[in-house]
A and B are shown apart, each in its own frame.
Chain A
Amino acid sequence: DQQVKQNSPSLSVQEGRISILNCDYTNSMFDYFLWYKKYPAEGPTFLISISSIKDKNEDGRFTVFLNKSAKHLSLHIVPSQPGDSAVYFCAASARETSGSRLTFGEGTQLTVNP
């Protein structure tokens, strides 16, 4: 049972345009969400997070939007750069969890073309 789903395995955008990566979740106990980026042969690196008490969080070129009623979040990258080409994972943490357990989506491969 995939509680966090990223329905698009891949996304291709032009340099300078907006990249929008989407993520859906089913567990209503999830209240903290994160995005990680992964380059080949490296471990995932933390990008940005959002708590369920907010609907938007920005950090430079990266903005995460949370729609709790739709159980949907998205990551916007503006403007996209070739160095952003990587696999992006959405992750969630449930409020009853003690500790650092995360539930991840399957990942979306973003390719930014020069």
Chain B
Amino acid sequence: KAGVTQTPRYLIKTRGQQVTLSCSPISGHRSVSWYQQTPGQGLQFLFEYFSETQRNKGNFPGRFSGRQFSNSRSEMNVSTLELGDSALYLCASSLVGMRTDTQYFGPGTRLTVL
């Protein structure tokens, strides 16, 4: 089975722009979660989608949004980019998003905001 794929792998944007990141989960997985990783901060939970509905949301401003399509693929969008949004954005998929389901992570999208 193919793993979780994320596109693009690297992205450079300037302040004020917006960006859309894409995540394709493992085939058959219906839950997709997004995390932000910055140096020294570990992974911070952004949101989780299941069956095209946002099920959980972390403590991020409304500039961060996401959606999930009927094929379980997910996108996240960041509007009005700030320098502090520079980070590695990881998505993870699991079968149905139960707490004990193993989450499989993609390689991430490295976003740099100049």
What total of chain A residues lie within 8 Å of the partner, measured CB to CB?
Answer: 27
Nearest chain B CB to A23's CB is how many angstroms away?
11
Chain B residue numbers with a CB within 8 Å of A44 are 43, 90, 105
> Is A98's CB under 8 angstroms from B4's CB?
no
Chain B residue numbers with a CB within 8 Å of A41 are 107
Category for how many chain B residues contact A? 20 to 34
Point out the residue from B40, B56, B107 that lies within 8 Å of A42, measured CB to CB: B107
Chain B residue numbers with a CB within 8 Å of A84 are none
Query: Which residues B72-100 have CB closer than 8 A to chain A?
Result: 90, 92, 94, 97-100
**Closest partner residue, chain B, to A36 (CB atom):** B105
Given contacts A32-B99, A100-B103, A104-B43, 5 further A-B contacts (CB under 8 A): A9-B40, A99-B48, A100-B98, A101-B58, A106-B40
Chain B interfacial positions (CB closer than 8 Å to A): 4, 31, 33, 35, 40-45, 48, 50, 55-56, 58, 90, 92, 94, 97-108
